[in-house]
Amino acid sequence: MVNDGARVRSRSSNRDLRKTLSRSRTNTGIHGKLHAETIVIGGGVIGCAIAYELAARGQDVLLIERGRIAEGASCAAAGMIAADSEHFSSPMMLNLAAMSRRLLHEQSEQLSSLSGMHIGFQQNGFITPIRLKNDLRSDSAVPTPRPRDSEIWWDSITAQQEASWLTKDIYGAYYRPLECDVLPVNLTQAYARSAQALGARIVEGVHHVNLRVDANRVQGVETSIGTMTCQHVIVANGIQGEALMKQAGLQLPILPVKGEIAAVQFPDHSGQLAPDKTIYAEDIYIVPKANGEVWIGATVLPGESDLHVTAAGLQKLLERAVSWVPGIAEAQFVRAWAGVRPSTPDGLPYLGACESISGLYTAFGHHRNGILLSAVTGSLLADFIEGKSSEELNVQGCRPERFNKRGILH
Ligand SMILES: Cc1cc2nc3c(=O)[nH]c(=O)nc-3n(C[C@H](O)[C@H](O)[C@H](O)COP(=O)(O)OP(=O)(O)OC[C@H]3O[C@@H](n4cnc5c(N)ncnc54)[C@H](O)[C@@H]3O)c2cc1C
């Protein structure tokens, strides 16, 4: 539904809006200003990265979040920056992932100094171990390791020397030294705080948002705390992106894919047993984090969107983890949690300008790679706002309106 019926709000509701904005925990300097050049909807890692990049380019940006910053999928992620390890289906995605990892590396110091937060960035490298009986990307009976440019092959002896905590039941392992990881909630909050330090305004607790579209041009948003006008709206609210776009009559299907994840901690004296690199196996990942925990994930449950952790899910994670890193059996269980990945029918995010509604942009649907792709998404969306086209930016495959009303690619 296109909502342009409430273009002018009463003075009293505008007064309420000013009061709410000036009370807002994360708001700085908004006092009564109801207009922004760009409004970003959604305070996950994607929305916050965009707000940061726009603010860094001197743009006037206001981010609105329904609940609190980093309370959606971004607080459930393992935080892997797996540019070389993920199985991307297109060269475009491979390229975006590599760019994003590089950008994040460059941004990490500035984010920490602007926000005063530690984002937990570490470049420990990832290992993909291969079990004795497994095929090594080969049809022949004698498996042949075929490392790509970004990886090194370790035979079983080297693997034991480099990672003594790994099971001995392996033929060898691929090691990818450039891979890194972050603490995802810290990264999201650091983007938000850095954006504020650079002049962006952020408002949490905005329960309802309606897009205001008139004559195929976005006018602003109608919210539970009042009307806001702007030139550009960027929809970056993850799993809820589809519902928001429907208000503008656009079909951008989102498929929820739940994932469960667990954290354990090794006692101080267990140095030899604890992993110091990420295991990125076919059936599980095990990520030693900068906060001293080891995160084990994740189940993949398409179509599910509740946030419960089941006993069966947890059992599967822990069994698989122990089969790769036996010392995990001795580690202390800390907690488990679940989140919902915002996936799309073709596995690509919706990135860019909507062709049928001027001023409306999308940045959602990052599936299992939103943390990895956050930095490049921020940069791309800022480029779109500055007038570049998806052809120029080489992300035509991610254009928002690529599905027709029946969900078929056109
Ligand atoms: C178990 C698990 C493990 C993962 N591991 C990794 C990993 O290792 N590496 C990686 O790169 N990715 C990982 N991901 C994926 C990653 O978490 C997501 O791709 C990413 O967090 C998506 O970010 P987002 O900002 O689009 O969405 P979200 O983080 O969900 O943020 C959307 C925000 O929008 C807000 N919102 C919703 N509706 C509205 C509205 N109407 N108005 C205002 N605000 C609204 C929500 O409250 C939320 O805060 C993992 C995901 C899961 C579930």
Predicted confidence (pLDDT) at residue 98 exceeds the cutoff of 90:
yes
Q: β-strands 285-288, 293-297: how paired?
A: antiparallel
Residue 20: what pLDDT? Answer: 40
Q: Is-contact 132 170, C-beta < 8 A?
A: yes
Same domain membership, residue 277 and residue 230:
no
Kindly report the CATH number assigned to the domain that includes residue 111. Answer: 3.50.50.60
The helix (H) or strand (E) run that includes residue 101 is: helix 91-115
Lining residues, ligand 1, CB within 6 Å = 41-47, 64-67, 71-74, 76-80, 206, 209, 236-240, 244, 259, 261, 297-298, 339-342, 364, 366-372
> How far, in Å, from the CA of 73 to the mean position of ligand 1?
3
Residue 147: what pLDDT? Answer: 75
Residue where a domain terminates, one of 343, 364, 390: 343
Q: How far apart are CA 102 and CA 280, in angstroms?
A: 20
Same domain membership, residue 72 and residue 102:
yes
CA distances from 72 to 132, 241, 289 (A): 39, 12, 20
Q: Is the omega angle on the peptide bond into residue 382 within 30 degrees of 0, that is, cis?
A: no
Give percent of the chain above pLDDT 90.
Answer: 81
What average pLDDT does the segment 357-384 reach? 98
CA distances from 76 to 205, 241, 328, 362 (A): 20, 18, 21, 22
- Average pLDDT, whole number, for the chain? 89
Same domain membership, residue 89 and residue 28:
yes
Same domain membership, residue 277 and residue 242:
no
Same domain membership, residue 233 and residue 159:
no
Q: Does residue 200 sit in helix, strand or coil?
A: coil
Same domain membership, residue 27 and residue 84:
yes
Q: List the single range of 19-23, 137-141, 270-274, 326-330 with lowest mean pLDDT.
A: 19-23
Same domain membership, residue 111 and residue 9:
yes
Same domain membership, residue 158 and residue 31:
no
- pLDDT per residue over 153-176, tens digit each? 999 999 999 999 999 999 999 999
Residue where a domain terminates, one of 315, 343, 371: 343
- pLDDT per residue over 316-355, tens digit each? 999 999 999 999 999 999 999 999 999 999 999 999 999 9
Same domain membership, residue 149 and residue 186:
no
Q: List the single range of 22-31, 49-58, 179-188, 250-259 with lowest mean pLDDT.
A: 22-31
Q: How far apart are CA 192 and CA 333, in angstroms?
A: 31
Confidence of residue 15 (pLDDT cuts 50, 70, 90): very low
Residue where a domain terminates, one of 317, 343, 369: 343
> How far, in Å, from the CA of 291 to the mean position of ligand 1?
21
* Most informative mutation of 181, 300, 310, 366 for ligand 1 (most atoms within 8 A of CB): 366
* Most informative mutation of 122, 278, 317, 369 for ligand 1 (most atoms within 8 A of CB): 369
Q: List the single range of 20-29, 136-145, 244-253, 398-407 with lowest mean pLDDT.
A: 20-29
Kindly report the CATH number assigned to the domain that includes residue 153. Answer: 3.30.9.10
Where in the sequence is the domain holding 379, given as residue range(s)?
1-124+179-252+346-410
Buried (b) or exposed (e) across 154-165, using 16+ Cβ within 10 A?
Answer: bebeebbebbeb
Same domain membership, residue 266 and residue 243:
no
> How far, in Å, from the CA of 226 to the mean position of ligand 1?
25
Q: Is-contact 258 105, C-beta < 8 A?
A: no
Same domain membership, residue 208 and residue 174:
no
Same domain membership, residue 317 and residue 284:
yes
Predicted confidence (pLDDT) at residue 112 exceeds the cutoff of 70:
yes
Residue 132: what pLDDT? Answer: 76
- pLDDT per residue over 261-282, tens digit each? 999 999 887 778 899 999 999 9
Q: Count of domains in the chain? A: 2
